[in-house]
């Protein structure tokens, strides 16, 4: 077998595996749409058989029903959404700071360096400044 054939076979196998994992993950997240047209398209695009697609979807639904923690980046390696939430906070913080710093007249490079330094220092995760009041008694 020529080397390109082995490489091509490995790529086809990888595409099939990725497609089945995506079907299972979609079902696990409750985003399954097992219509006959959808199954035919997935099978045609990835060289799969309908029973393989249905089995992957069933596996995802069963994992969801059992409450097994999902380990994908969307769910945050344990089902709590922590990674996605933290990334959303970073994105929102950076957008707000870009606007503030642009209004202040900073150049693009200065803004991006400042924002990155602030995010690295944890500024994006400080919801409100802490005020300490001391009593005199």
pLDDT in tens, 4-24: 687 787 888 888 888 888 898
Q: Based on the fold, state whether residues 104 and 60 are members of the same structural domain.
A: no
pLDDT in tens, the chain (137 residues): 455 687 787 888 888 888 888 898 888 888 777 788 889 999 999 999 999 999 999 998 898 888 877 767 666 555 455 656 677 778 888 888 889 999 999 888 888 888 888 887 777 767 544 455 566 65
With contact defined as beta carbons under 8 Å apart, do 47 and 16 qualify?
A: yes
Integer-rounded Cα Rg, in Å, for the chain is 24
Domain of residue 108 covers: 82-123
Classify residue 127 as exposed, middle or buried by CB count within 10 Å of its CB (0-12, 13-18, 19+).
exposed
The whole-number pLDDT of residue 123 equals 75
Q: What is the pLDDT of residue 71?
A: 67
- Is 89 inside a domain boundary? yes
Q: Is residue 15 one of the residues assigned to a domain? A: yes
Residues 22 and 58 in one domain: yes
Burial class (CB in 10 A: 0-12, 13-18, 19+), 73: exposed
């Amino acid at each position: 077998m020529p080397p390109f054939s082995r490489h091509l076979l490995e790529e086809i196998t990888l595409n099939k595996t990725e497609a089945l994992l995506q079907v299972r993950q979609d079902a696990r997240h409750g985003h399954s749409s097992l219509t006959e047209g959808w199954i035919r398209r997935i099978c045609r695009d990835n060289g799969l058989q309908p029973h393989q697609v249905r089995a992957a979807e069933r596996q995802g639904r069963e994992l969801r029903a059992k409450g097994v923690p999902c380990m994908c980046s969307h769910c945050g390696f344990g089902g709590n959404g922590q990674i996605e939430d933290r990334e959303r906070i970073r994105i929102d913080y950076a957008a707000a700071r870009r606007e503030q710093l642009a209004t202040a007249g900073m150049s693009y490079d200065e803004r991006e360096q400042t924002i990155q330094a602030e995010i690295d220092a944890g500024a994006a995760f400080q919801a409100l400044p802490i005020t300490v009041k001391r009593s005199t008694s």
